[in-house]
């Protein structure tokens, strides 16, 4: 039987970071992945440029039942540490809105960085390899792989979440948690576009491709300010992806369609200056015309000359546009979601090491656990930080 110190299941962002760190400590490591190559999600991330971290990272940028859990790992291996590593590897990067950092050239650079970090004599990587069975022994674990059995002292589960099954996502990590009796937080798609009920979908069908800068708010009071994008299936764009992680079926979201424009004052001023101008033409100066036409067509607002609106009606219009509520029908699900909310309950894990409290030697890193980041490089930062701390302890 083959013997190694550490087996890492999953050669994604978190698994490779963990393997590299464990190797640097002199541990022998076997990385096993059922896919044909490493870091497949990294390669398609950030539109092929990988938004690998953010200039501003705190535990508040993560969704987790325990809001304090991420703090220790994020402090032990910070975004500055990863930025230094990127610079050490000579990778050019750029800052975009909201402190998001992207490769200038290609996401391939981040995969090469991880592979160079893992290029150590004590680290072996095996692809197209399935794990058929895991057994706990007195000193560690025995794993049955396709063609051999391997024993190890530490087992690191880095199998990621459920999003994008065509890139190799599986529920294997959750099944391992179940095997060892660990609690799980129910999973659902996060950072995902909304689908709409038929009446809304039909009303807004012609708006596909139109973006509007808005503020969006979930029922729990979480807010984001960015672009909302109409699509042929529903609503997308950065604000929608962000708020989807704070939305559960049946809830509404409230959109301020003119966050920087006090509409009552604007319309009152327009009515003074151009009393004969129609509401449609007035609002079309502030928002896309086709959107205003769609709202008139379905009777949400009434078009008439501005002089025919009294103060109360102007106030009602202002309230409507500053508090446009919409009840999504659902989300596009794991097929397009960037992340999986929920996962292995962090109560089961040490926040300092990522080791399970009840099964010595068993670690979970990355997205497989109940820690999900905002859009903006936070999910990779969690993979780096959680992978790094586990790598110091396996």
Asked whether position 131 contacts ligand FDA by CB under 6 A, the answer is: yes
Say how many residues touch ligand FDA, by CB under 6 A: 38
Q: How far is 176 from 173, CA to CA, in rounded Å?
A: 5
For the CB of residue 95, give the shortest distance to ligand FDA in the complex, in Å. 14
Binding mask 312-341 for ligand FDA (x = CB under 6 A): --------------------------xx--
Among residues 152, 63, 135, the alpha carbon closest in space to that of 382 is found at 63
Q: How far is 314 from 139, CA to CA, in rounded Å?
A: 73
Asked whether position 380 contacts ligand FDA by CB under 6 A, the answer is: yes
Question: For the chain, how big is the Rg over CA atoms in Å?
Answer: 25
CA 155 to chain CA mean position, Å: 25
Task: Tell me how far apart the 2 most distant CA atoms of the chain are, in Å.
Answer: 87
Member of 176, 366, 389, 390 binding ligand FDA (CB under 6 A): 366
Restricted to residues 162-181, the positions that interact with ligand FDA (CB under 6 A) are 163-164, 168, 170, 172
For the CB of residue 191, give the shortest distance to ligand FDA in the complex, in Å. 8
Q: Which is nearer to ligand FDA, 12 or 237 (CB)?
A: 12
In degrees rounded to 5, what are phi and psi of residue 27? -80, 145
DSSP H/E element including 239:
helix 238-244
Q: Which is nearer to ligand FDA, 164 or 271 (CB)?
A: 164
Q: Tell whether the torsion through CA atoms of 328, 334, 339 and 345 is positive or negative.
A: positive
Q: For residue 308, what is the DSSP state?
A: G
Restricted to residues 12-71, the positions that interact with ligand FDA (CB under 6 A) are 12-15, 32-35, 40-41, 44-46, 50-51
Member of 8, 9, 73, 177 binding ligand FDA (CB under 6 A): 9
Q: Which is nearer to ligand FDA, 33 or 226 (CB)?
A: 33
Q: Which is nearer to ligand FDA, 49 or 322 (CB)?
A: 49
Count of H-run helices and E-run strands, the chain:
13, 21
Confirm if 370 and 345 have CB atoms less than 8 A apart. Answer: yes
Q: For residue 301, what is the DSSP state?
A: S
Of the candidate spans 85-93, 296-304, 353-361, 366-374, the one that interacts with ligand FDA by CB under 6 A turns out to be 366-374
For the CB of residue 169, give the shortest distance to ligand FDA in the complex, in Å. 6
Which residue bears the tokens 């409290």?
Answer: 357
Member of 377, 384, 389, 390 binding ligand FDA (CB under 6 A): 377
Q: How far is 274 from 282, CA to CA, in rounded Å?
A: 9
Count Cβ atoms within 10 A of the Cβ of residue 272 and give its class: 0-12 exposed, 13-18 middle, 19 or more buried: exposed
Q: Which is nearer to ligand FDA, 35 or 288 (CB)?
A: 35
Asked whether position 109 contacts ligand FDA by CB under 6 A, the answer is: no
Asked whether position 367 contacts ligand FDA by CB under 6 A, the answer is: yes
Among residues 124, 118, 138, the alpha carbon closest in space to that of 17 is found at 118
For the CB of residue 27, give the shortest distance to ligand FDA in the complex, in Å. 19
Beta-bridge mates of residue 253: 326
For the CB of residue 45, give the shortest distance to ligand FDA in the complex, in Å. 3
For the CB of residue 292, give the shortest distance to ligand FDA in the complex, in Å. 33
Task: List contacts with ligand FDA (CB under 6 A).
Answer: 9-15, 32-35, 40-41, 44-46, 50-51, 130-131, 158-160, 163-164, 168, 170, 172, 338-339, 366-368, 377-380, 383
């Amino acid at each position: 039987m083959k013997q190694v110190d550490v087996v890492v299941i999953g050669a994604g962002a978190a698994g490779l970071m963990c393997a590299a760190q464990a190797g640097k400590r002199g541990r022998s490591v076997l990385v096993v992945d059922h896919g044909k190559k490493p870091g497949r999600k990294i390669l398609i991330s950030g539109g092929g440029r990988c938004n690998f971290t953010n200039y501003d990272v705190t535990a508040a940028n993560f969704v987790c039942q325990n809001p304090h859990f991420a703090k220790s790992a994020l402090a032990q291996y910070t975004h500055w540490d990863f930025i230094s590593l990127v610079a050490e590897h000579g990778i050019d990067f750029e800052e975009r809105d909201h402190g998001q950092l992207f490769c200038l050239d290609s996401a391939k650079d981040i995969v090469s960085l991880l592979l160079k970090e893992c290029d150590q004599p004590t680290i072996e990587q095996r692809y197209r390899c399935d794990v058929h069975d895991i057994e706990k022994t007195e000193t560690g674990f025995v794993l049955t792989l396709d063609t051999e059995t391997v024993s190890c002292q530490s087992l690191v589960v880095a199998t990621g979440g459920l999003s994008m099954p065509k890139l190799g996502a599986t529920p294997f990590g959750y099944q391992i948690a179940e095997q060892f009796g660990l609690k799980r937080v129910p999973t659902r798609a996060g950072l995902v576009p909304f689908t709409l009920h038929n009446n809304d979908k039909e009303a807004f069908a012609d708006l596909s491709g139109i973006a509007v800068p808005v503020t969006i708010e979930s029922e729990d009071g979480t807010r984001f300010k960015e672009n909302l994008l109409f699509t042929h299936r529903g609503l997308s764009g950065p604000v929608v992806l962000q708020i989807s992680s704070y939305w559960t079926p049946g809830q509404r979201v409230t959109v301020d369609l003119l966050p920087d424009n006090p509409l009552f004052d604007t319309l009152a001023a327009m009515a003074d200056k151009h009393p004969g101008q129609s509401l449609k033409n007035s609002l079309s100066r502030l928002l896309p015309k086709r959107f205003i036409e769609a709202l008139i067509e379905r009777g949400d607002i009434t078009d008439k000359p501005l002089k025919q609106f009294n103060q109360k009606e102007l106030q009602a219009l202002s309230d409507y546009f500053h508090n446009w509520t919409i009840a999504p029908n659902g989300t596009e699900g794991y097929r397009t979601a960037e992340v999986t909310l929920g996962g292995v309950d962090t109560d089961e894990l040490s926040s300092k090491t990522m080791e399970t409290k009840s099964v010595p030697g068993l670690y979970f890193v990355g997205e497989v656990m109940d820690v999900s980041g905002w859009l903006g490089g936070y999910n990779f930062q969690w993979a780096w930080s959680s992978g790094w701390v586990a790598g110091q302890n396996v």
